[in-house]
């Protein structure tokens, strides 16, 4: 996780990203610290990535890499504003004992567009990550990669439209409206028991969530998802990351999951 340094929102892809509403930096930091502290309280290890004022979007640490079984596929960002982040992430992994770190050939924005279950890597495409990165990930990790087409610019990354709830059991939740008809059919076939989010909860970025298999940290505005998660035996924890939402991300965007070789889980 990388603490926020300075935000200057200069574009508006989504309704949350309004340049007329500047980010309250002290409040953003408080909200980020609350997320960090909540992970600690749940027993998770949190590693920190040192922020850099010239790379304000690095607070969205999920985009910097994908880690599976201790192997690291780095990121290659779609836009020049974030390009330099990729090297910072790779350097962090080298400095922290990860020996198998790949600099990718094709554009992928880390766990923004790669979601890991026990059986598959679900891979988003259409707005940021290249389809060519899917083959690259499959060859590197040796796991089947399922390409999913995102068709609504509101859901520009896979992690805004889909969340893995229990990677051991291939349990997910997602919003069908974010995907092409073919991709919806694939998801329905592979995950017939998935939790389906409605438009209201999806628009609140409720699927930009992190689950440890029991606790699900998600935006507090996604009240319908909270109710549905409880009915399925999960423990939803609503988080207020409203200031970070102005930059286009929430819980998952701020959280890169580390999956070491020794364990099925890992730190965040």
Tokens (6 digits) for 144? 């089947």
Marked catalytic residue, from 163, 253, 254, 268: 253
Which residues of 118-258 form beta strands (DSSP E)?
121-125, 145-149, 162-166, 171-174, 195-196, 210-211, 215-219, 235-239
- CB-CB contact of 56 with 4 (8 Å): yes
CB atoms within 10 A of CB 9: 17
DSSP codes of every residue in 197-261: PPHHHHHTTTTS-EE-SSEEEEETT-HHHHHHHHHTT-EEEEE--HHHHTTT--TGGG-PPP--S
For the question of residue 157 being annotated catalytic, the response is: yes
Q: What letter does residue 236 receive in the DSSP assignment?
A: E
User: How far apart are the C-alpha atoms of 163 and 172, rounded to whole Å?
Assistant: 6
Tokens (6 digits) for 210? 């992190």
User: How far apart are the C-alpha atoms of 149 and 66, rounded to whole Å?
Assistant: 19
- CB-CB contact of 76 with 86 (8 Å): yes
Marked catalytic residue, from 157, 215, 226, 254: 157
- Measured CA distances, 47 to 1, 22, 60, 163 (Å): 6, 28, 14, 21
For the question of residue 2 being annotated catalytic, the response is: no
The span from the first CA to the last CA of the chain, in angstroms, equals: 7
Sheet order of strands, 210-211 included: 210-211, 215-219, 235-239
Q: What letter does residue 106 receive in the DSSP assignment?
A: S
List residues with catalytic annotation.
157, 253
């Amino acid at each position: 996780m990388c603490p926020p340094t300075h935000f200057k929102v200069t574009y508006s892809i989504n309704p949350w990203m309004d340049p007329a509403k500047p980010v309250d930096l002290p409040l953003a930091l408080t909200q980020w610290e609350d997320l960090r502290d909540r992970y600690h309280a749940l027993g998770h290890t949190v590693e920190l990535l040192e922020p850099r004022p010239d790379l304000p979007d690095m607070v969205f640490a999920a985009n910097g890499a994908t880690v599976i079984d201790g192997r690291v596929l780095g990121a290659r960002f779609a836009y020049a504003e974030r390009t330099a982040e990729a090297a910072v992430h790779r350097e962090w992994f080298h400095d922290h004992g990860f020996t198998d770190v790949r600099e990718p050939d094709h554009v992928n924005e880390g766990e923004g567009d790669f979601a890991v279950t026990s059986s598959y890597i679900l891979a988003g495409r259409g707005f940021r990550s290249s389809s060519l990165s899917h083959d690259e990930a499959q060859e590197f990790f040796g796991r089947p990669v399922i390409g999913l087409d995102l068709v609504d610019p509101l859901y520009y990354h896979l992690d805004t439209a889909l969340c893995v709830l229990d990677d051991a059991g291939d349990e997910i939740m997602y919003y069908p409206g974010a995907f092409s008809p073919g991709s919806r059919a694939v998801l329905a076939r592979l995950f017939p028991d998935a939790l389906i989010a409605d438009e209201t909860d999806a628009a609140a970025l409720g699927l930009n969530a992190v689950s440890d298999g029991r606790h699900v940290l998600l935006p507090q505005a996604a009240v319908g998802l909270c109710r549905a998660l409880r009915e399925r035996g999960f423990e939803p924890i609503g988080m207020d990351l409203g200031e970070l939402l102005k930059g286009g991300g929430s819980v998952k965007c701020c959280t890169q999951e580390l999956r070491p070789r020794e364990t099925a889980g890992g730190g965040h």
